[in-house]
Structure 1
């Protein structure tokens, strides 16, 4: 068996297997206590695992040089596969450790964020209450304005409706009066006078409706 200063290929292989078992046990221990503490970056187990991984990688590099110098091809292929298995196992442990540290770092950041939010919430509670009060007041004001606008609109519609009813009644009364006057044979001058009065009343009705519309529009603009 080929030798190196650290021992034979078989001896180095056995040392690497023992270190793999030790490192895997250390990683499982960290994982078991993962949720009992927020910070494992300063734990002695973490430094021991990192040190063992580095040592296994060094032994693997030594074995890789040794198996290449073996004369027998079957033995060389066998040791090649064994060294590859060591490399695969140590990479798996290293990947598991990286994931553990990433989860731990994420929990630390989340805990800091929660503490900061709680601190801000406690310090700014009066500000938050004031914001809610202002929003409630703004909503109440908007509701009042909307209600006033609806009432003004309803009033305007009612006024216009009354003007329309009065105009219809006036037309009917005027038609009856004209019929009566025609019956009794009044002069054309009297009829023209009545017609002019009818046009004046109609103008007054139109002016009243226009003024009402303007008042409703100005009130709507004022409330908005």
Structure 2
């Protein structure tokens, strides 16, 4: 978790930094996509980092959601509740943008594969080229699937750790009382 802050304000600042970094990453992915509109260059590392940042923001939102409820003054509590909601909405919006990017990328890969198949049928001699393309497309798909599974595992682990933290806090309250 970036920043590792313990107070609501520190966690909020960390979440805002991660949101800005994720937004910048999505913009860079879209620029890459638009600059190579004929081929569509994908940056797997960048898309993985953006997805990880969004997952971290969502985890921080869970922490902030727990913390804003403990603020004593009602006006401050309402202000923090709204801030946390806005961060969560922005993270959700960025997640949707990234999902749309992945869908466009998948569509481009499928179209390229279909184009290669059509060209392979038109040129009987291009079976070797088509086989190489198929193997590379399968490898890219395998890497993409592995990245997605790894990101999902990280998200699941973060959620589990967040729940453990909540349970620890509850147990502390019970032990104190």
TM-score normalised by L of structure 1: 0.51
Q: Does 1:75 align with 2:76?
A: yes
- Counterparts of 1:112 and 1:39, CA distance in 2: 15
2:61–2:87 Cα contact (<8 Å) kept: yes
Query: What residue number does 2:33 align with?
Result: 34
Query: What residue number does 1:113 align with?
Result: 114
Query: What residue number does 1:7 align with?
Result: 6
- Counterparts of 1:123 and 1:19, CA distance in 2: 51
Structure 1 segment 17-96 matched on structure 2, within 5 A:
17-35=16-34, 36=36, 37-38=39-40, 40=42, 43-96=44-97
Structure 1 segment 1-224 matched on structure 2, within 5 A:
6-35=5-34, 36=36, 37-38=39-40, 40=42, 43-123=44-124
- Counterparts of 1:46 and 1:9, CA distance in 2: 28
Secondary structure, counterpart of 1:34 in structure 2: helix
1:38–1:104 Cα contact (<8 Å) kept: yes
Q: CA RMSD in A?
A: 1.7
- Counterparts of 2:77 and 2:31, CA distance in 1: 40
CA offset digits 1:143-190 (Å, max 9, x no partner) = xxxxxxxxxxxxxxxxxxxxxxxxxxxxxxxxxxxxxxxxxxxxxxxx
Larger RCO, structure (CA 8 Å, separation 6 or more)? 2
Higher Rg: 1
Secondary structure, counterpart of 1:33 in structure 2: helix
- Counterparts of 1:6 and 1:16, CA distance in 2: 10
1:9–1:66 Cα contact (<8 Å) kept: yes
Q: Which runs of 5+ in 2 are unaligned?
A: 126-177
TM-score normalised by L of structure 2: 0.64
2:64–2:84 Cα contact (<8 Å) kept: yes
- Counterparts of 2:120 and 2:41, CA distance in 1: 21
CA offset digits 1:1-44 (Å, max 9, x no partner) = xxxx841101110110011001100000000011425352x621
- CA apart distance, 1:123: 2.3
- CA apart distance, 1:70: 1.0
